[in-house]
Amino acid sequence: MQLTQLTDYSLRTLIYVALQNQNCTISEISSAYDISKNHMIKIIHKLAKLELLITTRGKNGGVRLNPRALNIDFKALVVQLEPHFDLVPCFNPIKKNCCIAPACKLKNILHQAQEAFFDVLEQYTLEDALHPENELRHLLKI
């Protein structure tokens, strides 16, 4: 299973903003991860829409973490960010077109693997990803 780039960058953005513990700018986050500012604007918009980030306009504006985001498990974050979880076409009722589907065990095996993936994500929160805090701050130049 591969996460979309939007999800990857969104999770990294949440880590950056959580470590910052104050308002930060889109430019700062873009620079830290070497992501285009335009792409970061889309990411911030999505995270604000999901109420994971709080945005403030103006001279002293920026983005900061919604405190409730620290305790959301990664499964919940990924489910909100990913467009779908169709590992193979037969996972999608509209696209399923496999001639062996009625006798195939692969779909069940892949479904179990996906559930194991989600079970692990559910065990960790954003707060868990903020350690080792000092090393992360150093690497991100915060």
Query: pLDDT digits over 6-55, tens only?
Result: 999 999 999 999 999 889 999 999 999 999 999 999 999 999 999 999 99
- CB-based contacts of 134: which residues, under 8 Å, 6+ apart? none
- Residue 96 is predicted with a pLDDT of 67
What are 55-74's pLDDT values in tens digits? Answer: 998 888 899 999 999 999 99
What are 75-130's pLDDT values in tens digits? Answer: 999 999 988 887 777 777 776 677 777 788 888 898 899 999 999 999 999 999 99
Amino acid symbol at 101 = A
**Could you count the other beta carbons within 10 Å of the beta carbon of residue 81?**
20
Q: Which residues pair with 54 in a beta bridge?
A: 64
- Residue 61 is predicted with a pLDDT of 84
**Would the pTM of this model clear 0.75, i.e. be above it?**
yes
- Is the CATH number 3.40.50.1000 carried by domain 5-84+125-140? no
Distance CA 40, CA 37 (A): 5
- Supply angle C-alpha 53, 4, 78, rounded to 5: 50
- Residue 16 is predicted with a pLDDT of 96
